């Protein structure tokens, strides 16, 4: 997969794990995150937990921060581990993305400051295939004429898109 194909945001990669309907709505410009207190709290935790750290942002990705020493390490700050599978894929996508830019990145860290937990992620050859498969799946979802069905999971009630699915 070439760099031009990497036009998805990290949020879209995470939403591909969480809910295909949410991914489709978000990608079509229906952004409801600004109405969610949980999203606001997550942004607050992100902004206040690691003050002074330098993030990386371009038109596609917004990485909370990078630490550059002997190696480059991607760091993401999350509110809780409830959607950890999505967090893992998002961090792996960021690593994949930076590697496609020519950077030698092999590791990421997810911080859960409220829980005082840290999860280290090593990027493998299998992860490259995992990301490429996820990107192909996202592409297929976005070509759908109408949104996928609501999934009715326990976490739906706390989702910013709840009304769009069940209202």
92-142 confidence digits (pLDDT tens): 999 999 999 999 999 999 999 888 999 999 999 999 999 999 999 999 999
- Yes or no: say if 96 and 65 are a contact pair by the CB < 8 Å rule: no
**Of 118, 79, 77, nearest in space to 94 by CA:** 77
The reported pTM is 0.87
CA distance 80 to 132: 26
Torsion from C-alpha of 24, 63, 80, 155, nearest 10 degrees: 0
3-166 under CATH 3.90.320.10, yes or no: yes
Read off the pLDDT band of 41 (50, 70, 90). Answer: low
71 three-class SS: coil
For residue 42, pLDDT over 60 is answered with no
Tokens of 12: 């879209």
Q: Mean pLDDT of all residues in the chain?
A: 87
């Amino acid at each position: 997969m070439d760099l031009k194909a990497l036009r998805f945001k990290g949020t879209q990669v995470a939403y591909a794990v969480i809910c295909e309907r949410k991914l489709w709505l978000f990608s079509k410009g229906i952004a409801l995150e600004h109405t969610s207190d949980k999203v606001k709290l997550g942004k607050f935790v992100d902004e206040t937990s690691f003050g002074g750290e330098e993030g990386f942002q371009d038109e596609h990705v917004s990485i909370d921060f990078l630490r550059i020493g002997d190696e480059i390490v991607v760091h993401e700050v999350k509110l809780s581990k409830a959607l950890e599978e999505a967090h893992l894929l998002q961090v792996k996508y960021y690593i994949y993305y930076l590697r496609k830019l020519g950077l030698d990145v092999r590791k990421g860290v997810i911080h859960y400051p409220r829980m005082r937990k840290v999860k280290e992620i090593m990027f493998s050859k299998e992860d490259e295939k995992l990301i490429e498969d996820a990107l192909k799946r996202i592409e297929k979802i976005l070509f759908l004429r109408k949104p996928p069905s609501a999934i009715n999971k326990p976490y739906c009630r706390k989702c910013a898109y709840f009304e769009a699915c069940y209202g």
